[in-house]
Chain A
């Protein structure tokens, strides 16, 4: 049984107060997440990731289609008991301390008293808030709130964890910790579904990824599968201060630094580039293949103009 099945979920928002305009946030989406995998849900800002996740969690009702979680419906409390959820930019009751908040969530998830106290304590340690357990959340920094968010999502030991941008707001150490934590969750046999802009995180973690752009699915598969079809690149370095015009014409990037020139070009141009260098009498220093990354695939699907907007947060 798949952990998550998205069967044609779609969403159209109606915006504007008087003359309502229809805005398609998500085209019918078909997606299956297998049990036990780490699945990355990628896309630039406004792609529809959060919209999909909110529909999946039953917070927003779809305009069409359905979704199944662990073979059931998310409207069933028994199914929700098996799911942990971290919303985007989470905000919590700021009049509670971290411990009180987790206690409350534990109660709502039906964890019995003694076990709950132990779990809360262990969870605070696990997300690095052991010291801050008795501090009111209004005094928490953004990254600390994000950690509380992760703690509440996994407190009740769910089978499926759905994170909307788990790394946002975290410092490099924090991001590393969350990465490790996601890997641990997989070790524990949980299914992790998370959205992100940070391609390197997805590349390092995910068994499979899906790429969403303007509400449409642009690709699904293992990172290696997706990047296999992207044309590889090579990097050429030679000594000199200029590049021959013929080489300029076929290079994607050219940088002159000191007395060396570095050019990046498509793999299939390798032969002609070497010929040009030889004819111009320039001395080659190095030739290295550039591994094609998820980012290349992302750019090829989404367009380079969108990347800069997406990579920021």
Chain B
């Protein structure tokens, strides 16, 4: 821990002169300048914000982590999430449920059929009358297509599958379609929630991830709270966690009663946060402290 933070401080101190040169009038302890290269492929970790985005420029959460944590994500053999990815691949090919089917019975090779799916989630579902998250889509296939039992939101199998399916979109830009169905309404509801102050500490998501990203909040380096790397492997959790688990953690920290995982509120918030990261590369599965 101590070595880690010390090296972070050194890294930041070294960066200061460059920062001071490029943004001489702003005191801004921003993201670092490191590049994410996985298996020889460069994954862009920042991008220009689309018109209407409240953020000036988009940065992946990876850019705010310590060099040690960054390194874990930059190597699939070191990335602890890959055990779950392997499980996900096994599950993909395993028959389950009364219809005697596996995911691959219908979707064949995930590398082809699932490429780009994570990048557009959540996406509108006519049959549901609301947006599908990756979790609800997978459960819909299990129940309706396979006659299998649905998985709990944070079940190991669910996390393994969302990680495996998500990985097939790695490197692709997040691109939600807000024109479909009532996506815009869900987005707007999410935006309201994002800007509502909650809890005894009386803070909104935007208070930390909008105005103050780049700054230290005690031992943690505040990012923009992007969701492009989920599910993420958190060292603190010792395993993978969903987007909604992270939302819950942030609400707990400000002493608010969190919404339930899979609730309409968290789905709306997920639509908004995903769209707020429109253009960032999918990094699933990311590693966080």
Do chains A and B interact in one complex? no
